[in-house]
């Protein structure tokens, strides 16, 4: 997700709390945190940065 505004998400029935801060770079968070941020219009959904970089590595074979 790309975070547009700072926010905080606390999981129901849990001590876990997630604080996310604005950044132009995609960030990787648990799915429930992303769902919350997108629903409150604090972020936009994008592909996972780890999956995007893995896709780029498999799409371009190494030159030998």
- The CA R_g of the chain, rounded to the nearest whole Å, is 15
**What pLDDT does 49 receive?**
73
The whole-model pTM stands at: 0.73
pLDDT at 64 over 50: no
* pLDDT grade for 48, boundaries at 50, 70 and 90: confident
**What pLDDT does 26 receive?**
92
CA 44 to chain centre: 9
């Amino acid at each position: 997700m790309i975070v547009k505004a700072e926010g905080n998400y606390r999981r129901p029935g849990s001590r876990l709390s997630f604080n996310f801060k604005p950044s132009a770079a995609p960030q990787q968070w648990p799915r429930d945190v992303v769902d919350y941020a997108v629903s409150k219009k604090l972020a936009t959904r994008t592909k996972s940065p780890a999956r995007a970089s893995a896709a780029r590595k498999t799409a371009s074979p190494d030159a030998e």
